[in-house]
Amino acid sequence: MTELLTAAQMRAMEKAAIESGQVTGLELMERAGRGVIDAVFAEWPDLARAPCRALVLCGPGNNGGDGFVVARLLKEWGWEIDVFLYGDPAKLPPDAKANHDRWQAMGAIAAMSAVPSNDARHDLLIDAVFGTGLTRPLPADVRNAFQHVFRSQAGIRFVGVDSASGICMDSGKPLGDRADNPFQRSLIVQFHRGKLGQYLFPEAGAASRVRIADIGLSGGIGAQGVKLVTERCAHALGKPQAHKYAHGHAFVLSGGAGHTGAARLAARGALRIGAGLVTLGVPGSAQTEVAGQVTAIMLKRADGPEELAAVLEDGRINALCLGPGLGIERARGLVRMACGGVEPRPTVLDADALTCFSDAPDEFFAMLHEDCVLTPHAGEFARLFPDIAERLNAAAETGPAYSKVDATRDAAARAGCVVLFKGPDTVIAAPDGRCSISLAAYDRAAPWLATAGSGDVLAGFITGLLARGVDPMQAAETAAWLHVESALSFGPGLIAEDIPEELPRVFRALGL
């Protein structure tokens, strides 16, 4: 797992380091500027081979100070540099003012409003106007400057210093008018740790790459932090055991005739991820249909709550999945039985199992227990948590804005169980506040995952891991990461059936 920080958390870490005497503000600024240069040359080696021309836009705070350092270092590299400043140089913070003065001894500084009059062709645009702590929309001068550059210099390579100006780095949302900052960002260079909003959409979809520059700070913030799910979570799978029941028995409820595909996908996912046994609970009308489609997956008749209760008398069944293709009317009784009518066991609730209680969410939440995992997409989330969704979907006028992380944490606290809020920025939260992001963007972008049935496979992955005894939070994280990894391994052309079948290749690549 990799720790992500909010703007306030990053400021607190810098402040603590400076106050302890570990480093000075000027030293941090110098390291930040050098980190940007190193990241630029690593991203585009051609820029390191010959002097080029850069446009550096600096702001009224310490982010602007970082920009002056970048300008000076590029000038020393032999580049031609044009620097523009938003704000009064006399009001710059002390460290930023010191670097302003160092640059001024080397080159000119023009007001931001003068950008449209500068028609020189540039190879690189350095955005050091507003960093991670922005709490208001872009001023008109700044907005106009960016718009002019992107209109007049199509294809210019853009580098954001710790952030793209105008973006709330706690939520990934643009502040103010959603059209203020619509431009594609080539590279964002962040310091010490990734910032939360850079890993949430829409910002995660606007930037091409993020690089993290080490500026010599140490430590993190522990349990308060949001984690970025990485491959290390896959080792939650552990070592094989001696017999199938040691890997658990997952039970997946199916819909009726003509509606069994989603549950079959979930069951296949549970089997491929390592559940020792997987059984489909099928209504009588669909038994023949399902029997002709499965081999390693077993069948049990389960028309309604009474049949489900009888099946669950077998204590070896230790994980349930309800929802995919289940049917909204049928789902109500089955969910009540699975969550409250028998001895509770780890349960994944997806699709129709979520929607069937959208008119009675309080009843639904009262049935849930700590070993449940809810897996809503945005529409299902809005039906279950309408007030939270309304707040999340509101335009961000000031920062820090309410984020998908905030929304998922609030939903998990209300539901009393793990919530996995699906999307290219899947957010997973537990009732105790633990939170992580499984991202399908940057070098893990897998747009072909947007295919019918992929969410059913994800529900099956989680169920299979629960059957193997994995903690609900870790099961959700591991399943989400492997879901994306399988899609990346397969590549374009993916359909839902391919996802579980790609898992063995992924496992081999991981050395499992």
State phi, psi for 161 to the nearest 5 degrees.
-85, 100
**Residues 97, 61: Cα–Cα separation, whole Å:** 9
Nearby residues of 387 by Cβ (< 8 Å), 6 or more positions away:
none
382 assigned ligand-binding residue = no
Q: Which amino acid is at 187?
A: L
Q: What span, in angstroms and rounded, lies between the C-alpha atoms of 375 and 354?
A: 8
- β-strand 53-58 against 277-282: which pairing, if any? unpaired
For residue 398, say whether it is annotated as part of any ligand binding site.
Answer: no
Question: Is 64 marked as binding a ligand?
Answer: yes
- Residue 344 known to bind ligand: no
Residue 136 labelled as part of a binding site? yes
Q: Consult the annotation and say whether 455 binds a ligand.
A: yes
* Residue 325 marked in a binding site: yes
Q: Is 456 annotated as a binding residue?
A: yes
432 annotated among ligand-binding-site residues: no
- Is 214 one of the annotated binding-site residues? no
Annotated binding residue 281: no
**133 annotated ligand binder:** yes
Burial of 129 by CB count in 10 Å (0-12 exposed, 13-18 middle, 19+ buried)? Answer: buried
493 labelled as ligand-binding?
no
Q: Is 35 annotated as a binding residue?
A: no
Is 127 marked within a binding site? Answer: yes
Q: Is residue 492 part of an annotated ligand binding site? A: no
- Beta pairing class for 124-128 and 53-58: parallel
| Alpha-helical segments (H) within 416-495 | 454-467, 472-490
Token representation of residue 262: 């989603």
Is 228 marked as a binding-site residue?
Answer: no
For residue 64, count CB atoms less than 10 angstroms from its CB and return exposed for 0-12, middle for 13-18, buried for 19 or more. buried
Determine whether the annotation assigns residue 377 to a binding site: yes
CA distance 323 to 503: 23
**With left for phi above 0 and alpha for psi between -120 and 50, is residue 423 left, alpha or beta?**
left
Annotated ligand binding at 292? The verdict is: no
3-state DSSP call for residue 269?
helix
What's the angle, vertex CA 158, arms to CA 152 and CA 160, rounded to 5?
135
Is 262 flagged in the annotation as binding? yes
Q: Is 165 annotated as a binding residue?
A: yes
Q: Which residues are documented as binding site for AMP?
A: 422-426, 455
Q: Which residues are documented as binding site?
A: 62-66, 127, 131-137, 162, 165, 262, 325, 377, 422-426, 455-456
Q: Which residues are documented as binding site for K(+)?
A: 63, 127, 165
